[in-house]
Structure 1
């Protein structure tokens, strides 16, 4: 899953692809490098990022989704949003998957809207509100906490008719460095192994900050961790560096 940020303020590539032509060229590059999905996001979720309304997200996305679908109809597009209105817009433009960092907690109509579209849904674990999503919580056992929260949420999804679910443990969202390395070490136990698992560790601070490096300088370390989670059963890698991740997948 190649990351396409349509944002001026993302932590590692902000401003590079926030017009339709540049976005299409970047999508083409990632698809040629082997991306199966393009994950489009109009709102940065890094700490202290600018907060956008649903209307502003839609304006920022523009025709990017439909342009990519027209040029690359076989490529799946996931839309990274927590707004029901943006999901409706994305559905009309041709998205294939909803990627929601909020677990449906930031917009009371989000999950109902996903159910109406019948699209697959990526359920990510995060804190309960936009304002608190990066507050560090001291988990005694992060895997136990995830496996307490995920079944409750999945039961809610099933009641709404959302049955095609991918689980994302939410690296970088309200978790300590120790929590995140435990998640990697015990990734096969997340969600009791019942659902496809998406791992999004690309350019995350729990990797680069302890090393004193920049987000763009940790490709080797990231691929080593990617190898580990894939060998433990992860199904999808959400990445900035598609070619390197595709090469790794080809080796396994």
Structure 2
């Protein structure tokens, strides 16, 4: 899954792809490098990012989804949003997957909107409010806590008729470096073996800050972690650097 941030303020690529021309060019680059899904996000969720309304989010997206679909019709598009109105807008424009960091917690109408589309849904583990999304929680057992959250939310999703579910353990959101490294070690225990796991560790601070590096200088370390999670059953890697991740996936497939 290649990341297409159409934001002015994302932490490593803000403002680079937030118009139709640059978004199309970057999409083409990601696809040529081996991306199979393009994840479009109009709202940065880095710490202290600008909070957007659904109207502003949709305004930023504009015709980017439909233009990508027109130029690259075979491409799977996921839309990164926690708003019900943006889900409906994206569905009308042609998205294939809904990537909701909030687990339906930041908009009371979100899960009903998802159910109406009948699209696959990415469920992420996160704190219960937008304001607290980056607050560090003292987990007794991070793996157990994530699975308890997934179990409760999956029941809620299935009651609404949402059955095509992908799980994201939520790297980078309200977790300590130590907890996130434990998550890496215990990926095989997440998700109950029934649902595909998406892993999003690309350019995350739990990797680069302990190393004293920048988000753009941790590719070797990131690929080692990508290989580790693939070996434990992860199915989707959400990444900025598609070409490097593709090499890791190919290595994994050859040696498994």
TM-score category by the smaller chain?
over 0.9
Q: Which runs of structure 2 are paired with 1:14-163 in the superposition (5 Å)?
A: 14-163=14-163
Question: 1:60-101, CA deviations, whole angstroms, 9 ceiling, x for partnerless residues?
Answer: 001110111111111100000000000000000000000000
> Structure 2: how far apart are the matches of 1:7 and 1:59?
11
> Shift of the alpha carbon at 1:201?
0.0
Q: Which runs of structure 2 are paired with 1:167-246 in the superposition (5 Å)?
A: 167-246=167-246
Aligned Cα root-mean-square deviation (Å)? 0.5
Question: 1:158-213, CA deviations, whole angstroms, 9 ceiling, x for partnerless residues?
Answer: 00000000000000000000110011000010122221000000000000000000
> Structure 1: how far apart are the matches of 2:103 and 2:43?
16
**Where does structure 1 lack aligned partners over 5 or more consecutive residues?**
none
> Structure 2: how far apart are the matches of 1:216 and 1:115?
37
> Structure 1: how far apart are the matches of 2:165 and 2:67?
26
> Structure 1: how far apart are the matches of 2:148 and 2:43?
29
TM-score (norm 1): 0.99
Question: 1:106-149, CA deviations, whole angstroms, 9 ceiling, x for partnerless residues?
Answer: 00000000000000000000000100000000101100101111
> Structure 2: how far apart are the matches of 1:111 and 1:178?
32
TM-score (norm 2): 0.98
Matched residue of 1:245: which SS? helix
Matched residue of 1:28: which SS? helix
Structure 1 segments, 4+ long, off by >3 Å, are none
> Structure 1: how far apart are the matches of 2:14 and 2:174?
22
